[in-house]
Structure 1
Amino acid sequence: MKPGSPWQPLWRLRVSMRWLRWLSHRQRQTLLMMLLALATGLEFLENIMFVFASSHIVGGLDADPRSFALVQAAYAVGSMLMILKQQWLSRRFGYRYYLTGALLLFMAGTVVAATSHALPQMVVARFIQGVGGGALFTSCRILVNVLFGPTARPRATRIFMIGIFSGSALGPAFAAELIDHGVWQDVFYGVLPFAALATLGAWLLLPDAEPRTDTGGPALGPLLLFGAAIVTLQAALTEARFDVFSHPLRLALVAAAGLALLAVFLWHQWHHSEPVLHLRALRHPVYLTGLAMYFVYYMISNLSGYLFPIYAEQALKIPLAATGWLNTFAALVSLAGIFVYLQVAPRLTRKKPLMVAGLVLMAATAWWFSQMPPDAGPPALAWGLVGKGLFGVLVIIPIAGLTFRALGPDEFAHGYRSKNLMRQVAGSFASALGAVLLQNRQFAVHDSLLHAVGQRPAETEHWMAAMQAALAARGFDAAQAHLGALAQLNGLIEQQARLIACEDIYRLIAVLALGAAAYMLLQRRLP
């Protein structure tokens, strides 16, 4: 360590932790496994908390659903750019410096997000968070293979998966309690202690590695080309709700430009001798089929994850804290399902029936939610939440086991980076699609309900009279009672419109899940 280095304070702390040498080899391995699980779980925790609290964050910024799509896109773009450079950065600086720096950057972005007062600040903050946290999942999963031999790797993989699902389970309830007892900014502040612990652990526990100087240049040209393609495509999706009828040609041109940029990037990477994205190594049919199923899973999971808090809290009027705990209940079902799966998986030679069952179960869950009456309470949602929790276990764990089996050790890292790129694309697309579809459908249903109320003047007047009488009995004068009755009627129409819109999107999720189940049943590459 050179004198005056910016890492000098952390280096002194690392030297002072010589007590770690007194731990056994297995104990040090366990600490490393827990660190990788914590760092990965941190990204899942923050993203799930953000999506759960999205309506409160957007409301606090005085923004709209289109703005939420923009904020999500900023995180996705930052994350994908970092995933593309993950290999170069880890080779250039070593994993300890790289992950410590990435986590510090993630914390900086989190602080900026917590102190944001306008949409542009939040977009910048989420981009910084994406750059810092975007490659944590990829890096930590690669390190599971790098740091642990064949005998310790299964235990490391189990702890790694438990960390992911534990972060997913904690996120909704934690976000709900923070907002219920504070403000929306606390959603970001609440993540910082976990991030600080992961940063300290990365510096103290990850082994030293000599930085490599033969890594070539940073290849900024392809990186900028990819970023321009993703931003353009995301802009087309974000504006689709507003321009599809008013400016269809402009929307088509923007989408075509994004696709053209992406095609140029892929062509360049295919023909380049040292590509950022190693496409040639990932042509195996089993891997490509698994990647397609990953995309479908992340689409359905993120669309459902965005929709449920709005459906429960705003459409069914379930309190915020209860909504968070309902989401956490579903995640705990997933966590319990993992423990069961890990016990029985070695005896299951064919995983296809499990994946088909998981997709059918998700379709049934979405259909169950689409049939709820306006006064449905938490007990009525319980069976749907069990299905939602088991969906992830039955689908994503088998897919993960089958997809990368076809790749050799040298191809695994490239395959995992590509998979996580696709994860960010699917997650951003699903959240933006959910925001756009929900707003679009809600406006349409609201207009229909207003028309229906106007077609029944006698019933409407009777209801208004009864409500005005009830308000007058509470001490309101005639004018106040009339305004109060109008507000009550408008509130009921808005709630009903939101409920119908949410249930329509749940029907869409059911159709997507059934279509994916049919494809999974017919394909022959994933056994």
Structure 2
Amino acid sequence: MAVNKLTKVIIVITTIAAAIMELIDTSIINVALNNISGNLGATLEDTSWVVTAYAIANVIVIPMTGFLSRYFGRKNYYLTSIIIFTIASYMCGSSSSLWMLVLWRFIQGIGGGALLSVSQGILFDAFEPEEKGIASGIFGMGIVIGPTIGPILGGYIVDNYHWSLIFDINIPVGILAAFLTWRYIDRKPDEYNIDRKSIPIDYTGILSLTAGIGALQYVLEKGQADDWFEDEWIRIMAAIAIVGLALFIWWEVTTKKPMINLKVMKSMNLIGSNALTFACGFGLFGSVYIFPLMVQRVMGYTPTESGISLIPGALVTIVVMPIIGISLSKGVPPLLYVILGFILFILHGYTSAQATADADKWWFTSTQICRGLGTAFLTVPLLSQAVVGLKPQDMAYGISLNNMFRQLGGAFGIAILNTYTTRRFAVHRSDLVSNLQANNPLLNERLHGLANGLTARGLNPMTAKTSGAYFSLDHTITSQAQMSAYLDGFILISIFFIATIPFMFLLKSEKTDAETRAKIAAAAH
């Protein structure tokens, strides 16, 4: 449906603001966990449930958005989700206990689930078929900008204000998005007379998906902290995840009226797009997760400084994504961008792994630019490719599945990198300690120098020799081991991208005609 230029601009502002608002909340909380833990009198382990609850709700709802949009009407569902997200944000900021905050974060995640898939569909409908590539580029910017600026904004708030502000800043944005949705986003023709009796509720699909995805997300989020399968709850949740997801897949494939039509996964193009989107989520969320940890724990950056270090990559993405969208509309093969994106992400992981503990802030600029370019080259083409070859009635399923794979990729990336870097830290520390021999003259010289340095700073000479020097040496060993572990994490990102290269051969590289692009634009809701 064609719209005038002013309405188109308003729709762009509304959908991108809603999508960015949802994605920011997936990462902005990370830098505030220490403050929340201290303020609410909870352990850091329990406080991590603030992250887990949101992720579980988010990943459960995303694949259900197609069904919920049909059942309630796309505009009604979208507007209600924005309102739920905004109210939950206010309640999160007002929470006086940890478990109250966890509850409202879960509700916030339920509201946020629609703000990706439905935003994308509304935005696509506002553009003509030949402008679909531009729409993909605009929406792709929101997908990348959200998790990138989350740590920047969160770091600034934590360093200068109360942690509750990370939730309160959603309120004016949510109110504006809700008003603009109500005023300027039209219902689709079939939304005026919805016959809900003709749309059966797939209770088995909903319950099995909720149990399977929820349990899987729990295992990913809590596995490292709870020592994985040594913990009974992890084993129980892993079993629930396997049974729940197996039941969900079997039921959705065999039932006559499934909530999610998994038969669309017969499309080799969709399989390839989802696998590559999973890798993109792994690399984007994973690298944005370990980079702030590395520079804060090893290099002494403040939360604000670590967030600012991510800006070069975000700026490059903002500039490049619309250009890619326009070029795709003019017929540039998306496979070309996918190949370049993989090369850049592999290069990003490798070059980041060459960092040293005394590297200055400017050293990381090139690696962040490389990540920003790689993400831009992957996100826009994969957004367009996800629905190529699908029937119009199946494209909503393709979009929701593609968004779910991106979120799952991010969840896997964070969980795997957290586990991997933790274990690599233990290995590196053990290796460093094993090289310390009491009869080593270099070691004794180092301890003597540390003791003299501490004495010069006013520490008691005896204390400096007996414990101070060893404490300083232990701190140095710990920092070196942490640095090496994080560098190994960047290498793992490169290896993961290399391992998923074969999936790009499943993508259709031919140019789509105008009729196909029109169907994609019309059905992407």
Going from structure 1 to structure 2, the CA distance change for 1:293 and 1:405 (only over 3 Å counts) comes to same
Matching residue of 2:499: 515
**1:332 CA displacement:** 0.9
Q: Return the letter of the residue paired with 2:406.
A: R
Between the aligned partners of 2:223 and 2:212, the Cα distance in structure 1 is 17
**1:500 CA displacement:** 1.0
**1:57 CA displacement:** 5.8
What CA deviation, in whole Å up to 9, does each residue of 1:22-65 have, x standing for no partner?
xx932123212221121112112222323465676678776457
Between the aligned partners of 1:354 and 1:453, the Cα distance in structure 2 is 49
Between the aligned partners of 1:245 and 1:167, the Cα distance in structure 2 is 30
Matching residue of 1:3: none
Alignment of 1:413-492 (within 5 A): 413-453=396-436, 458-478=441-461, 481=464, 484-492=468-476
Matching residue of 1:74: 53
Q: Return the letter of the residue paired with 1:328.
A: I
* TM-score where L is the length of structure 1: 0.84
* Paired residues of 1:92 and 1:211 also in contact (CA < 8 A): no
Match of residue 339, structure 1, among 319, 322, 329: 322
Going from structure 1 to structure 2, the CA distance change for 1:180 and 1:487 (only over 3 Å counts) comes to farther
* Paired residues of 1:360 and 1:517 also in contact (CA < 8 A): no
What CA deviation, in whole Å up to 9, does each residue of 1:373-401 have, x standing for no partner?
11011111121111111111112212222
**1:234 CA displacement:** 3.3
Going from structure 1 to structure 2, the CA distance change for 1:246 and 1:224 (only over 3 Å counts) comes to closer
Mean CA deviation greater in 304-313 or 449-458: 449-458
Q: Return the letter of the residue paired with 2:26.
A: N
**1:161 CA displacement:** 3.5
Match of residue 196, structure 2, among 214, 233, 245: 214
**1:267 CA displacement:** 0.8
Q: Does 2:165 correspond to 1:181?
A: no
Between the aligned partners of 2:270 and 2:32, the Cα distance in structure 1 is 35
Matching residue of 2:514: none
**What count of residue pairs does the alignment treat as equivalent?**
502
Query: Which SS does the other structure have where 1:276 is aligned?
Result: coil
Alignment of 1:220-299 (within 5 A): 220-238=203-221, 240-241=223-224, 247=230, 255-299=238-282
Q: Does 2:481 correspond to 1:502?
A: no
Matching residue of 1:190: 169
Query: Which SS does the other structure have where 1:316 is aligned?
Result: coil
* Paired residues of 2:348 and 2:371 also in contact (CA < 8 A): yes
Give the share of equivalent positions with the same residue, in percent: 22
Query: Which SS does the other structure have where 1:453 is aligned?
Result: coil
* Paired residues of 2:269 and 2:507 also in contact (CA < 8 A): no
**1:168 CA displacement:** 4.8
Q: Return the letter of the residue paired with 2:19.
A: T
**1:156 CA displacement:** 4.5
Matching residue of 2:519: none
Going from structure 1 to structure 2, the CA distance change for 1:250 and 1:29 (only over 3 Å counts) comes to closer
Between the aligned partners of 1:116 and 1:438, the Cα distance in structure 2 is 33
**1:98 CA displacement:** 2.4
**1:153 CA displacement:** 5.3
Matching residue of 1:372: 355
Going from structure 1 to structure 2, the CA distance change for 1:299 and 1:152 (only over 3 Å counts) comes to closer
**1:307 CA displacement:** 0.9
Matching residue of 1:31: 10
Going from structure 1 to structure 2, the CA distance change for 1:116 and 1:464 (only over 3 Å counts) comes to farther
* Paired residues of 1:290 and 1:526 also in contact (CA < 8 A): no
Alignment of 1:344-355 (within 5 A): 344-346=327-329, 349-355=332-338
* Paired residues of 1:90 and 1:98 also in contact (CA < 8 A): yes
* TM-score where L is the length of structure 2: 0.84
Going from structure 1 to structure 2, the CA distance change for 1:84 and 1:474 (only over 3 Å counts) comes to closer
In structure 1, runs of 5+ residues without a counterpart are 1-23
Q: Does 2:109 correspond to 1:130?
A: yes
Matching residue of 1:50: 29
Going from structure 1 to structure 2, the CA distance change for 1:231 and 1:168 (only over 3 Å counts) comes to closer
**1:458 CA displacement:** 4.8
